Structure 1
Amino acid sequence: MSAKPFSHPITVQPEDIDFMGHVNNARYLGWVQDTVLAHWQKLAPAEEVASKAWVALKHEITYRRPAFLHDAVIAETVLEKIAGARSFYNTVIRRGEEVLAEVQSMWCCLDSETHRPARISRHVAETFFGMPAKAKTTGA
């Protein structure tokens, strides 16, 4: 079971555009990172936000349609599960009803000082899933 979707608005900027006149494929990954981090910063307790950092471990992206300058784009992400220090997200990037890209990604939570993997506590996981995290997290 996944958490409630989190929406993050995006405005395409001139620096996002490549030589073909549309958003460069690499920029979509930046949008996913911006969205996942905004989700964490919005829902996690302030002390967790201050003491943790995130790094991407894996992205699998399917591009469906191009985005263009000044498009109003929404990235909607869903935290699917937490496993120890790892979190698994599905993100869909849309322009209106059109799906522009779909991204499955895995992230690792790090202790900000040591840069070592840091498990997500049950209490923090419950913040994201809105119910006891026992059903949503694994010890792996």
Structure 2
Amino acid sequence: MNWDLEKPFVMPLLVQAGDIDALGHANNAVYVAWLERCAWQHSTSLGLGIEVFHRLDRAMAVVRHEIDYLASAFDGDELALGTWLVDWDRRLRMSRRFQLIRLVDGVTLLRAQTTFACIELSSGKPRRMPEEFIQGYGRAFGKTP
């Protein structure tokens, strides 16, 4: 596959009938749900699942989505959604990129970037990333402090 960056975390997808809207293609809101699911799977693979977030009273909350819808997905399409952590300050913010590719023809259907901020779950207020986040997300960058 022709990924934009090296070594993506990849989540396979199969477009289902329920993903299709009145225009006959996957609805844009479904794409956003796929981005969220892929981000969670990647975080969990780094040892940062929802149970860790609750235990630490911290989470990475979406601050901004930037999505370029480039082509449509249709019922039965097999897709691969790749993601990369591309930037972080090791304190509060982190950015993640996505690329969605249709397997049969290699066409990129979507490119996106999401910015996250670390929050305290109990208050919703911004808080520094705990050491477990720095260690876990550091694995995606090939380094830990």
Question: For the superposition of Structure 1 and Structure 2, which TM-score range results when normalised by the shorter chain?
Answer: 0.7 to 0.9
Where does residue 137 of structure 1 map in the other structure?
none
**Is 1:127 aligned to 2:139, yes or no?**
yes
What residue number does 1:28 align with?
A: 31
Distance 1:126 1:22 in 2: 37
Cα distance in 1 for partners of 2:82, 2:26 equals 18
Q: Secondary structure at the match of 1:119?
A: coil
How high is the sequence identity, in percent, across the aligned residues?
29
Q: Which has the higher strand share?
A: 1
CA RMSD of aligned residues (A): 2.2
1:86 matched to which residue of 2? 93
TM-score normalised over the length of structure 1: 0.80
> TM-score, normalized by length of structure 2?
0.78
Partner residue of 2:11? 8
CA distance, structure 1, for counterparts of residue 22 and residue 95 of structure 2? 33
The offset of 1:45, in angstroms, is 4.7
Larger CA deviation: 124-133 vs 36-45: 124-133
1:54 aligns with 2:66: no
Shift of 1:54: 3.2
Match of 1:42 in 2: 45
How far is 1:18 from its partner? Answer: 0.6
Any gaps of 5 or more consecutive residues in structure 2? none
SS at match of 1:88: strand
1:29/1:42 CA distance change after superposition, 3 Å = same
Tell me how many residue pairs correspond in the alignment: 132
- Letter paired with 1:112: L
Give the Cα–Cα distance (whole angstroms) in 2 for the partners of residues 124 and 113 of structure 1.
Answer: 22
What amino acid is aligned across from residue 71 of structure 1 in structure 2? D
2:124 aligned counterpart, secondary structure: coil
| Structure 1 counterpart SS, 2:99 | strand
